[in-house]
Chains A and B, each alone.
Chain A
């Protein structure tokens, strides 16, 4: 561990990232440019989130990483090991025990507290990018608060599909000013963006950091006659029976057999440990045997 500076990055880089985080917190939803560094992992694997985590972590922290809600996927495991090695921090899979949580594309089901920090990995931070490819133009649109194009996009969803078909990376307006991409979380998670924890967003390839302070007003864009709806698969979890969690659909055999399970593995595990059993689940003691 002593072969690395604490949390891998050099001090000047961390200062630059820390200054960007503070300006991001002062201007909620505004994308602060920062000089993203090359990290020992490919773009798209969370280089932005890793740089933000490196700037935020303290040696006493307990670190949790989730990828689509799961603690045990390649991306989550490698980032967790990265900070175990370079920062010497404790790690956990339990949401309640973590002080810093880095996430790819989910918000944990369990409510977060004021003393926790949620770091998002963001692929494309600019919510207007797929509508307007020019950075010069999108920056001007943000400065003029000109978000008509986004409403046209949602309107076209309705005219073509009868409902707003955007299911993830659903655009939000933060504190009545900046339209922000909440990273590709399912829109089921959008209501949870108003939380007690500090939320930091890092986009490494696109070199942007933005933030949402605790208790900030985060409103999903919608229309009066087509209000925002947080949706999920209409099914309880087959393992733990939860009806309030976001579900993954798995195909489990060659005959089209399906199984719905919580995408938040820690939440599902916690419920099963507490004795909840879903339609296709077995009590946790038998499963372990």
Chain B
């Protein structure tokens, strides 16, 4: 393990995690909203926002799937040291990190009819996030919102699975947005 893995976590875990979670909850509750998160610095190629989502939500109970572009020894060491989360294949993952090209189409669990919450949360690494592009409607959105999405067809198909389906965080740099399964994309 390299010494780099030991740094870049939350300096004051209870406070930093509380701040990060409030932003993370707000973006999940209001799809299309973009928030900036700070407090952690993961090793490249993991974005700061993706790293902070992992720091805030992952622990030994949540298997993490790393897509090939994010699956480096430095990233593995950092996640292991700071969260203790085990690594898994797509089919067992509670969280998954990667670009949209890598993650779309993989066999992530979408929950069961009786436990729709047992589905993977994807952390989709994007080049940039902006309030342009696809139109979003659904719970958490007053009339409509717009968000730059990597594509629309897959998210439309995911919304049709409701109440099953995947939930997504979109991350770029220190910015995070979310797209839960309830959002109708057009």
Interface residues of A (CB under 8 A from B): 5-7, 11-12, 14-16, 18-28, 30, 32-33, 55-59, 114, 139-140, 142-144, 175, 177-178, 196, 198, 211-217
Can you list 14 A-B pairs with a CB-CB distance of less than 8 A? A6-B15, A14-B21, A16-B59, A18-B24, A20-B117, A26-B117, A28-B139, A32-B117, A57-B18, A58-B22, A143-B113, A177-B163, A214-B29, A216-B140
A182 to chain B, nearest CB (A): 16
Report if B56 contacts A (CB, 8 A): yes
Contact of A213 among B56, B57, B114, B139 (CB under 8 A): B139
How many cross-chain pairs have Cβ atoms below 8 Å apart between A and B? 115
Contact: A175 with B139, CB < 8 Å? yes
Contact: A214 with B18, CB < 8 Å? no
Size range of the chain B interface in the assembly: 35 or more
Contact: B25 with A23, CB < 8 Å? no
B86 to chain A, nearest CB (A): 15
Contact: B117 with A23, CB < 8 Å? yes
Closest residue of chain B to A59 (Cβ to Cβ) is B15
Closest residue of chain A to B84 (Cβ to Cβ) is A12
A178 vs B17: C-alpha distance when bound (angstroms): 31
Contact: B139 with A216, CB < 8 Å? yes
Known contacts: A6-B15, A27-B182, A177-B163. The answer to whether A143 contacts B25 by CB under 8 A is no
CB neighbours of A11 from chain B (8 A): 13-14, 17
A4 vs B160: C-alpha distance when bound (angstroms): 45
Report if B121 contacts A (CB, 8 A): yes
Contact: A6 with B18, CB < 8 Å? yes
Contact of A15 among B25, B26, B57 (CB under 8 A): B57
Beyond A14-B17, A15-B17, A175-B138, 8 additional pairs, beta carbon < 8 A: A14-B21, A16-B61, A22-B57, A26-B28, A26-B167, A57-B18, A58-B15, A215-B142
CB neighbours of B115 from chain A (8 A): 33
A115 vs B119: C-alpha distance when bound (angstroms): 28
Closest residue of chain A to B62 (Cβ to Cβ) is A19
Contact: A26 with B180, CB < 8 Å? yes
A144 vs B50: C-alpha distance when bound (angstroms): 35
Report if B81 contacts A (CB, 8 A): no
Contact: A215 with B14, CB < 8 Å? no
CB neighbours of B24 from chain A (8 A): 18, 22
B119 to chain A, nearest CB (A): 8
CB neighbours of A12 from chain B (8 A): 59
Known contacts: A19-B62, A27-B117. The answer to whether A198 contacts B18 by CB under 8 A is no
A143 vs B114: C-alpha distance when bound (angstroms): 5
Contact of A7 among B18, B28, B62 (CB under 8 A): B18
CB neighbours of A7 from chain B (8 A): 14, 18
A197 to chain B, nearest CB (A): 9
Most buried by B among A6, A22, A212: A22
Contact: B30 with A114, CB < 8 Å? yes
CB neighbours of A23 from chain B (8 A): 117, 119, 167
